[in-house]
Amino acid sequence: MSEAIHPVPEAWAKNALINADRYAELYRQSVEDPDGFWRQEAQRLDWLTPFTRVQRTSFDEADFGIRWFEDGALNIAANCLDRHLAVRGDAIAILWESDDPSEPERRISYRQLHAEVCRFANLLKARGVGRGDRVTLYLPMVPEAAVAMLACARIGAIHSIVFAGFSPDALAGRILDCGSRLVVTADEGLRGGRRVPLKANVDEALTHCRDVDSVIVLRRTGADVAMQAGRDVDWHEGVASQPAECPPEAMNAEDPLFILYTSGSTGKPKGVLHTTGGYAVWASMTHQYVFDYRPGQIFWCAADIGWVTGHSYVVYGPLINGATTVMFEGVPNWPDPSRFWQVVDKFGVEIFYGAPTALRALMREGDHWVQKTRRSSLRLLGSVGEPINPEAWEWYHRVVGEGRCPIVDTWWQTETGAAMITPLPGATDLKPGSASKPMFGVAPQLVDSEGKVLEGATEGCLVLTQSWPGQMRGVWGDPERFFQTYFTTFPGKYFTGDGCRRDADGYYWITGRIDDVINVSGHRMGTAEIESALVAHEAVAEAAVVGMPHAIKGQGIYAYVTTNAEVEPDEALRRALVQWVRHEIGPIATPDVIQFAPGLPKTRSGKIMRRILRKIAENETSNLGDISTLADPSVVATLIADRPQLA
């Protein structure tokens, strides 16, 4: 790993909201006197009923619970909209860029957004949606996605966004799990010049979801789609008759705000539940400090709203802070690899926040795609979703930012709500590849596999010992699973699932997942999920999926497949299985390699030895460790001999 250091630029140290001394002082306060610290930070919101109690949190089994600001009431949509109207009603809230560069941008002011949200909230109510009801959103990256989220929040409904790249089956599973009765979608999505049949996917999904009685359909491309009378409503026709005023519901701080499904070690994605008050404080505070955000600046987080990054840094964090947030419908390399930087120039983007996988892909295309744009507006860059390799970091810094922009490499998770370990641009000297230091209120610890706390420069499992306001509050519909998944591996501590190194300067270096989760292009996939999709195919007897290093995606998907006895595996079957997984889960789960395996390495008790499969996938076969405990050690030699030669 590179140990280069980029010191805080002088101008940043002088002008940033938080410099090094201030960071040290506030961090100490945040962990030594959390109640005092958070009582103060929570004043950034408008509360309808002020809270008196800051937190009641415990990670111990006996009195387990996570509650923040629990006797306060607020409405997060009102914090994103209403309170800005008097001071910046005509300022731009959302700057939208189409997938198609020839389509005009949209500029939506806070006042317009407020009216749209109220109308849509009234439409939801007219369809019978109220407090606590779940609403599934399956939408492209258009301003209406933010409108739908905020409309749910305004009336106290819980949104569950399903990334529009997921298959009808994956969508159906998520609708059923949270019991939504209403789905919001579009006729089609548009990505990289290709159309995505969203409404058709919803129709297919709904053949499994009998309880859905309303589908609101946004016209995005104008494609001719089937509309089911009584059930399906055209968005614009639906809102036309609705008033542009809708009083925000007073929500308790601990009332649910959203559910977002994410992958874990087990087969079924879990519905991560976030609540209102703590999440709002956490999203807003981190957006302000991590990005040194000042009102009026143009902020662009290039994530899709289908992921947590889009929730916290396209919508909630920026809008609570009265920012102008850029929403981009397209992809980084279409129509050509300078698209991101063209959009930066077009809007005068000052802060850009993206994923390492996109940077690696763009880096490969050559510097001239970047250099043909000006990027003179950029002052700060961010990275999120997976470890950023030092080469990509240096390229981002030198070529995109022309050496002038600090890079904040933010480590966090769907479960943590917002950024947890991250540099602050005016406070932290940067080390490429390190997420660096904990955010206020975050208490990281490294432990060994027995839970022994490791001190100083060391490497171990990353745990967090204190609660923070944006922490997830539960797994939807499965309260036991929350405690089981996160708090039993190391009792009394939140286990992140990540491995991590800490250097002599106290910098944290995330080394990647140590559970059966892989990170493909910054998207989290459970190996068990892909395995269950594979074994659902009639030709497959058994499957084992592991991650493998991938130059662009970070990790690729490597699947070992044992076919049924009567099936002769061939190229046609390999292709069919790739298609099958895409159809079952979605294109993001496309296997990079399928290796047919006559047998898998198993212990005598039948447990698959993934450690060995990982090594073979990584082509690290010289040091496989002890294989003598396998039921049939000879399968290993066969797997090595049959390993496909990868480019």
Q: Which residues are near ligand PRX by CB under 6 A?
A: 262, 308-309, 384-387, 409-414, 435, 496-498, 510, 512-513, 519, 524
* 57 carries a ligand binding annotation: no
CB 320 within 8 A of CB 283: yes
Whole-number Å distance between alpha carbons of 557 and 523: 12
Is 104 known as a binding-site position?
no
Tokens in use for 372? Answer: 């043909």
Tally of CB atoms within 10 A around 565? 6
309 labelled ligand-binding: yes
Please report how close the Cβ of residue 401 comes to ligand PRX at its closest, in angstroms: 17
Which uninterrupted H or E stretch holds 242? none
Helix-, strand-, coil-residue percentages of the chain, each rounded to 5 = 35, 25, 40
Tell me how far, at minimum, the Cβ of 496 lies from ligand PRX, in Å: 6
Bond into 469 cis (ω within 30): no
What region does 529 belong to: left with phi over 0, alpha with psi -120 to 50, or beta?
alpha
**Shortest spacing between CB 416 and ligand PRX, in angstroms:** 8
Pairing of strands 73-74, 106-109: unpaired
Beta bridge mates, 194: 191
SS (H, E, C) 249-265: CCEECCCEEEEEEECCC
Nearest-CA neighbor of 581 among 559, 566, 600? Answer: 559
Q: Which of 149, 185, 144, 193 is nearest to 168 (CA)?
A: 185
Q: Please check if 335 is assigned to a binding site.
A: no
Shorter beta-carbon distance to ligand PRX: residue 297 or 309: 309
Q: How far is the C-alpha of 639 from the C-alpha of 53, rounded, in Å?
A: 59
CB of 344 or CB of 384, closer to ligand PRX: 384
What is the number of the residue whose Cβ is closest to ligand PRX?
414
506 is in an annotated binding site: no
Judged by DSSP in three states, 550 sits in strand
Residue 429: CB minimum distance to ligand PRX, A: 17
194 appears as a binding residue in the annotation: yes
Instruction: Show Cβ contacts of residue 646 under 8 Å, excluding neighbours closer than 6 positions.
Output: 593, 619
Nearer to ligand PRX (CB atom), residue 293 or residue 411: 411
Residue 125, judged by CB atoms within 10 A of its CB (0-12, 13-18, 19+), counts as: middle
Residues 6+ apart with CB under 8 A from 455: none
524 labeled part of a ligand binding site: yes
Q: Is 414 annotated as a binding residue?
A: yes
Establish whether 564 is an annotated binding residue: no
Token code pair at residue 5: 């250091």
Task: Determine whether the annotation assigns residue 54 to a binding site.
Answer: no
Query: Measured from the CB atom, is 171 or 419 closer to ligand PRX?
Result: 419
Is residue 411 a known part of a binding site?
yes
Is 264 assigned a ligand-binding role in the annotation? Answer: no
Interior CA angle at 497 toward 28 and 393, to 5°? 70
The annotation status of 513 as a binding-site residue, yes or no, is yes
* Separation of alpha carbons 615 and 324, rounded Å: 46
Which CB atom, from 333 or from 413, has the smaller least distance to ligand PRX? 413
| Shortest distance in whole angstroms from residue 128 CB to ligand PRX | 32
Considering the complex, what minimum distance in angstroms separates the CB of residue 523 from ligand PRX?
6
Minimum distance, C-beta of residue 497 to ligand PRX, in the bound complex (Å):
6
Q: From the CB of 325, what's the least distance to ligand PRX, in Å?
A: 17
Smallest separation, CB 95 to ligand PRX (Å)? 23
Taking each continuous run of H as one helix and of E as one strand, the counts in the chain are 22, 31
> Hey, CA dihedral for 493, 498, 503, 509, is it positive or negative?
negative
Q: Residue 592 CB, nearest distance to ligand PRX (Å)?
A: 19
- 3-class SS string, 446-467: EECCCCCEECCCEEEEEEECCC
Shortest Å distance, C-beta 369 to ligand PRX: 24
Q: What is the DSSP string of 265-316?
A: SSSS-EEEEEESHHHHHHHHHHHHHHTT--TT-EEEE---TTSHHHIIIIII
Paired tokens of 92? 């731009």
Q: Least distance (Å) from ligand PRX to the CB of residue 322?
A: 23
Is 308 or 630 the residue whose CB approaches ligand PRX more closely? Answer: 308
AA letter at 75: N
Backbone angles phi, psi at 108, to 5 degrees: -115, 120
Residue 410 annotated as lining a ligand binding site: yes
> Which of 231, 250, 225 shows the shortest CA–CA distance to 48?
250
Spatial distance between the Cα atoms of 313 and 292, rounded to a whole number of angstroms: 13
Task: Please tell me whether 387 is known to bind a ligand.
Answer: yes
Judge whether 276 is annotated as a binding position: no
CA distance 535 to 544: 10
Please check if 535 is assigned to a binding site. yes
Rounded least distance, CB 415 to ligand PRX, Å: 7
The nearer residue to ligand PRX, 322 or 433, going by C-beta atoms, is 433
Using the minimum distance from each CB to ligand PRX, give the nearer residue, 155 or 510: 510
User: Nearest CA to 100 among 185, 195, 235?
Assistant: 195
Select 248 or 306, whichever has its Cβ closest to ligand PRX: 306
For residue 447, list its beta bridge partners. Answer: 453, 461
Least distance in angstroms from the C-beta of 463 to ligand PRX? 12
- Whether residue 287 is annotated as binding a ligand: the answer is no
Q: What is the rounded radius of gyration, in angstroms, for the C-alpha atoms of the chain?
A: 24
Binding residue positions for CoA: 191-194, 309, 333, 521, 582
Binding residue positions for Mg(2+): 535, 537, 540
Binding residue positions: 191-194, 309, 333, 385-387, 409-414, 498, 513, 521, 524, 535, 537, 540, 582
Binding residue positions for ATP: 385-387, 409-414, 498, 513, 524
